[in-house]
Structure 1
Amino acid sequence: MALLGTQLQGPAVWKGPDIDWQEHGLHVLSPAEVEEIDAALKHLKSLGKVDFPDITPNNFPLDKVGALMRGLPRRLQDGAGFLMLRGLPRARYSDDDMALVYFGLSSYMGRPMTQSYLGDLMGHVMDVSDLEPKSRGYRKGGGQLMHTDSCDIIGLMCLRTAKAGGASRISSALAVHNYMAEHHPEDFRILCDGLWLKRADEDGRHATRTYSENKVPFFSEQNGRVVCYLPTGYARLCEKSGQRPYTQEESDALYRVRKVAAMPEHFLDMGFKDGDIQFLNNRSMVHGRTDYEDYPELERRRHLLRIWIRAKEWDPMPTRQIFHSDEDMRLWSQHRKPFTEMPSVHDERLKENVTTRMVD
């Protein structure tokens, strides 16, 4: 029986006001689990400087926590689609140690994916628009529109919260599917047929192409599951460029799905604490963030670390819904420099940018 366009049911089909996220998606680490993570970090560091691509369960050994992380992809697929891991003693670890712990935990779930033309396996989500004028959306401040990323599972670790605001806003993309199919069937059909997408210019120049090869479906069906991919940012970039002209109906459908995903009856806000790690099923969830007030000092600004994961046990994404191909990521990965994702390296590079701009 075809599921696409029907009223889906199940744990992943929820509405924000009706769900207690701490009941359905919060795991607080026990003291024993924290000590296990601490021992794994000490073991990793005893091996010398291990670069991120080389961090694996073998050199970041975990027992009970390892079982939790190995089982998380299935939990995200069969449950509500999100999990917040809480309880890491943030004050105990430096920023660099936090990044190593984060990558070590994530290695149990699957393969980290390259995120941009820089070849980075871990992105730094913070407002540096004053230092990088051409920054992508996740490198700018303020709120962020609802969207999905180009991976199976997205992870976000909070190094530092904002001065005020900056909550993670999530919605069930399957609930969005239901609403669109029921209330806006014409828009829904357009989204199932797909929209043209455009990468940021630098990402496009260093990949196989800047624009999608074909229209990319927002909703599709595969092996008894509806697969959601709502790259609203890439769609807006394409529409604004005028190089792949949208019809009025396509523009309306894009506007509608963005609004539906952000409806109060759909979204749920999850407040980050320093040290929290959030994991989302990128095939059943859509996410954004609320507006926030930040600190002016670079070392105090809101700072999250982002990992894109390809889940080992999941079926590959439907071919028509893949925007960043393996070849794109191979081309991007050629530009990666060792330890480039390390927070200390990232911050030092930003400070060098400030010095260069002052000299110029």
Structure 2
Amino acid sequence: MTRDDTVSEIGWSSTELAHRSALWSLPLDPDERRLLWADARAGHWDRAAPVRSRLRDFVRRSTDAVGIAHVSGLGDPAAPEDDLVPALSFLLRDFGEIVAQNAEGDLSRVLRDQDGDGATELGFHCDTCDLLVLFCLRPAARGGGLTKLASARHVRDIIQRERPDVLVTLGEDWTFDRTGRAGPQVIVSPILFTQRDGTVGCYYQTRTVRSSPERGGPPLTARQWEALDVLDEVLYRPEIAFGLPMAAGDLLIIRNSRVLHGRSPYVDEPGPRARRMLRIWMNTGTNTGTKTEDA
């Protein structure tokens, strides 16, 4: 970060991100992992302090530069969840505050196939938190289930070049009605905008924004419908999305205000070989530019 608190942001295509993996992916060796988790389970830093410092600096640099941080081989996915979640939560204290994901106050959730929804693609969106944390417990048994990532800056630059009129519309206030979910019930925010640190920000949930008029929100104009269609078309161009295959034990941190994410379809099987992804939401106190209203 520079002295004026601006961030050296990098917009990227899928090819560029693949070729610059050193910017955003950090491998840990078995000894580093062993020390890290010994301290995490104990709940205090001791022998793993140098590894902690390396991990902390890497995550901050990579989320500043490209909006994501991937750590391969961070944890032992075979560890019991009752043991894993508290240790992982301790490690994450360096990056923000863990927040609830539902009305019951759960601070973590294991994502798995629900009634065959893994057979369909999960569209691009942003979660309602500053940092999305994913820890892979087990990848899909028969392939697929890649975490799809798209740079908000890269998407913005394309739309600015091809359809500047659409970019103006996407920079206006949109209503996202989330009634019934944890956290703010109605979010009013631009979809693409400039943040206080000078980076390009995003907030998008295609189904929520399209259905909000049916829930009492303001009707969408023809100009707004066209803007949503243009945005979705750009997001699904082959060169936009980077598909990240996560192995068991991998950690991924996504800065929601900078990177949109989704998931490719996958083929699974029931039982212990089924795909499972641990999700944690975190807030850092950073103002991303969104505004909230009570429903």
Q: Tell me how far 1:241 sits from its aligned partner.
A: 4.5
Distance, in Å, in 2 between the alignment partners of 1:97 and 1:121 is 15
Matched, 1:304 2:277: yes
Residue type of the alignment partner of 1:156:
L
> Which residue in the other structure is 2:87 paired with?
101
> Which residue in the other structure is 1:27 paired with?
26
SS in 2 for 1:119: coil
- Taking only the aligned residue pairs, the percentage that are identical comes to 24
> Which residue in the other structure is 1:246 paired with?
220
> Which residue in the other structure is 2:76 paired with?
90
2:258 pairs, out of 251, 259, 284, with: 284
Say which one has the larger Rg.
1
What are the Cα deviations for residues 64-104 of structure 1, in whole angstroms up to 9, with x where unaligned?
23213433553134322222111146365223333233222
Q: Tell me how far 1:273 sits from its aligned partner.
A: 0.5
1:123 pairs, out of 102, 109, 124, with: 109
Structure 2: any 5+ residue segments left out of the alignment?
Answer: 1-6
- Contact 1:153–1:279, Cα closer than 8 Å, also in 2: yes
- Larger helix proportion, structure 1 or 2? 1
Distance, in Å, in 1 between the alignment partners of 2:158 and 2:172 is 17
1:218 pairs, out of 191, 196, 207, with: 191
> Which residue in the other structure is 1:316 paired with?
287
SS in 2 for 1:287: strand
Q: Aligned pair count?
A: 286
What are the Cα deviations for residues 170-205 of structure 1, in whole angstroms up to 9, with x where unaligned?
111110111111112222111100221111x422xx
Structure 1: any 5+ residue segments left out of the alignment?
Answer: 1-8, 45-57, 131-138, 329-360
Distance, in Å, in 2 between the alignment partners of 1:87 and 1:179 is 35
Matched, 1:43 2:42: yes
- Larger strand proportion, structure 1 or 2? 2
SS in 1 for 2:177: coil
2:138 pairs, out of 160, 168, 171, with: 160
- TM-score where L is the length of structure 1: 0.71
> Which residue in the other structure is 2:157 paired with?
178
Distance, in Å, in 1 between the alignment partners of 2:71 and 2:140 is 19
- Contact 1:161–1:301, Cα closer than 8 Å, also in 2: yes
CA RMSD of aligned residues (A): 2.8
For residues 192 and 61 of structure 1, do their structure 2 counterparts lie closer, same or farther at Cα, with a shift above 3 Å needed? farther
Runs of 4+ in 1 over 4 A off after TM superposition: 58-62, 239-243
> Which residue in the other structure is 1:6 paired with?
none
> Which residue in the other structure is 1:79 paired with?
65
Distance, in Å, in 1 between the alignment partners of 2:183 and 2:205 is 18
- Contact 2:118–2:266, Cα closer than 8 Å, also in 1: no
